[in-house]
Structure 1
Amino acid sequence: MKDIDYTIRNAKPNEYKAIGELMVEVYSRLEGFPKRDEQPDYYNMLENIGEITKNPGTELLIAVEADEQILGAVVYFSDMKYYGSGGTATQEKNASGFRLLAVVHSARGKGVGKLLTLECINRSKEHGNERVLIHSTKFMQTAWKMYENMGFVRYPEIDFYQGELPVYGFKYLF
């Protein structure tokens, strides 16, 4: 397996459209995951992912190769109040979170998702939080397994339904 050299940094506004397209592609290809006609608001949010960075403490992080090709992205929230999920996660204190981790198909299995996750954990520590909260679904088994291997544990207190889709909470404690 060829190693990939890449950098994790904040996305630039001129990259938001490409990141939105990447997220739509990744999420729409998940087997069994709701499609655009079932959850149009969700896909609209993905397409316009740059808008989320207008919230305080919210960063759109990307992994890029030396030629600036985007390999993956994630949205980091230093304050859960801006996390934007259903359920009670937005009421959690002393916590950061991340959502919408997406990696291009050609870079999967090469550590991009793990490094984006580690970057979110490091930023949470820098912000003085005690834990990182995330959500996943049964359709995201690769990510789910990665999170558990990294030390995330189920946190059912923040589970919720997005329409008819069950969404499961996880936490990482420092």
Structure 2
Amino acid sequence: MTDHPPSLSSSAAEPWQIRAARADEHAAVGQLMVTVYSALADFPTLRQQPRYYDMLANIGQLTTRPGVQLLVAEADGELLGAVVYFADMAHYGSGGIATTLTDAAGFRLLTVSPAAQGRGVGRALMASCIALAVEQGRQQLVIHSTRAMRTAWGMYERHGFRRAEALDFMQESLAVYGFRLRC
């Protein structure tokens, strides 16, 4: 098992690498997540779910949990996106039954900067999480999403994720939908 995912790039024209975030990047990653999530239509606002946005702003704190990695996509020093990978679902931090799964890994909070959307950055971050789960011998990989993130649903489904209704839960008044990939 390695601590870092393989580096990926979209093409020779738009190279980036996927790597573990450095501690000095945590605040910038958190700000990117707050910016992206707060701009989603039909997504709870900071006022509606302040604890959620506090978690986003302080995303680096998740990396203190065993098996949790904050991965970033960057090119030429520019932060293009990020995702949090959980090797142990006990630390996943969702509602519902996901945290009880013992043969699974998960990822959450896949974020791509508005300037980098549509360039394959999200796909590369997701692929890094899939590679880590396979490398670690997990039987399944879990992700959760909301209706505000329907574009991401298509990406997950194109890469073999299937809806897993047993993993659905409510986050306050927000319906959260589970997806699962069998590894």
Give yes or no for TM over 0.5: yes
- 2:39 alignment partner, one of 23, 29, 42: 29
Q: Runs of 4 or more off by more than 3 Å in structure 1?
A: none
Q: Distance in 2 between matches of 1:120 and 1:63?
A: 12
Residues 1:73 and 2:48 aligned together: no
Provide the alpha-carbon RMSD of the alignment: 0.9
- Give 5+ residue unaligned stretches, structure 2: 1-10
Distance between the aligned counterparts of 1:111 and 1:42, measured in 2?
A: 26
Q: Which residue of 2 aligns with 1:83?
A: 92
TM-score by length of 2: 0.92
SS in 1 for 2:147: coil
> What's the CA shift for 1:154?
0.3
Where do residues 1-174 of structure 1 align in structure 2 (5 Å cutoff)? 3-65=13-75, 67-174=76-183
CA apart distance, 1:68: 1.6
1:126 shift after superposition: 1.0
**What do residues 69-114 of structure 1 show as CA deviations (whole Å, max 9, x unaligned)?**
1100000000100000011100011100000000000110110000
Q: Distance in 1 between matches of 2:134 and 2:154?
A: 23
Give TM-score, length-normalised by structure 1: 0.97
Give SS of 2:43's match: coil
Q: Provide the rounded CA distance (Å) in 1 between the counterparts of 2:25 and 2:125.
A: 17
CA distance in 1, matches of 2:93, 2:14: 32
One-letter identity of the residue aligned with 2:96 = G
Determine helix, strand or coil for the equivalent of 1:139: helix
Q: Distance in 2 between matches of 1:83 and 1:68?
A: 29
2:8 corresponds in structure 1 to none
Structure 2 distance, partners of 1:151, 1:126, is 17
Q: How many equivalent pairs are there?
A: 172
> Could you say what secondary structure the match of 1:59 adopts?
strand
% identical equivalent positions:
50
Partner SS for 1:140: helix
